[in-house]
Structures are given as structure tokens and as C-alpha cells.
Amino acid sequence: MRTVKLIVVVLAFCFFIGSLIDAANEHFGPASNRPRIAFDSLVKDLGKVSEGQKVSCEVTVRNSGRKPLILTSVKPGCAACIEVIDYSRDPIPPHGRGRIQVKLNTSNLVGPVVKQFRIVSNDPTDKNVIFSLKAVVEDRPVDTKTAAHTTSAVAQ
């Protein structure tokens, strides 16, 4: 019985030391000596917008790593809905910030919408990050003058 308790204590001690070594390697080892892309959130909620509206927004990118982060490209999932205006092309220094400017085109969209774009970087762990823009697109009010003209033209 005493031998079993001793074995359990030794195994628990080895497990504890092993987790300390893993934590130290993660924080100080080769894996931490890299760029590391980070965001406050991977979803930006644009709230309620009108159909047909083009909504610009800026996304902040952080480098929480120890080497410069390079944004290689920013690609829309749907080119008709998301336009990439600009993004930081210069290396983002360790613990620095960069930005991505995009525009959501809500033409022909109604209701809850989620559109995505892909951020490609030199972060070896997260080379491709998918970022989402979320909005509730409300139908535009119908212009009664235009609607009446369209209706009468169709009826003829």
C-alpha cells in the first residue's frame, strides 16, 4: 500500500514538472519567437444598415509575437459584397498594431447578413484568418412615386 502511494506521488510530481516545462517552452521557446496575429474579436458587428448602403469599417490587427508580422494579403469571400480598401503593407512590429479597411456593399441583401474576408500573414500558426462582418440589412422604404411609375409602365 505504501509503495502505491509513493508511485502516485512520484507520477503527480512528474506530471507537474512536465506541465511547467511545457509552459516555459511555450513562453520562452522557439514557438514564441515568431510573429503572432491577434484581434480583439474575429467578428465586427455593423448593426442595422439600409439595403444598398456601403458601410466602411476598420479592423485593428495586433502583433502579439516577437518578430514583425507581415500581412501578405486580404481577400474578400465575396467580391460583390466586400471591397478591401487598404491594409497595412509595412511589417507590424512586435506588440504593434496595423489596420485593415474594408467596405460592405449591402445592395441586394436583406435581413441578417454575415460576410467574410481572409487575412493571410506570416504567422506560422495562423497563416489564414477568417474575419466576419455582421449586419442586419433593412429593406429600403419603397419610393411611392417610383413604384407608381413602375406599376403603370408594367400595366401598359
| Tens of each residue's pLDDT in the chain, 156 residues | 677 666 756 655 656 666 655 555 555 555 568 999 999 999 999 999 999 999 999 999 999 999 999 999 999 998 889 999 999 999 999 999 999 999 999 999 999 999 999 999 999 999 999 999 999 999 876 665 655 554 444 444
Going from N- to C-terminal start, the domains of the chain cover 2-31, 36-138
Residues 77, 36, 62, 89, CA torsion sign: negative
Tell me what pLDDT residue 140 has.
Answer: 78
Amino acid at 130: I
Q: Cα 58–59–61 angle (5° rounding)?
A: 140
**Considering the entire predicted model, what is its pTM?**
0.70
Grid coordinates representing 141 are: 422604404
Q: Which CATH number fits domain 36-138: 1.10.3720.10, 3.10.28.10, 2.60.40.10, 3.40.50.1820?
A: 2.60.40.10
Beta bridge partners of 85: none
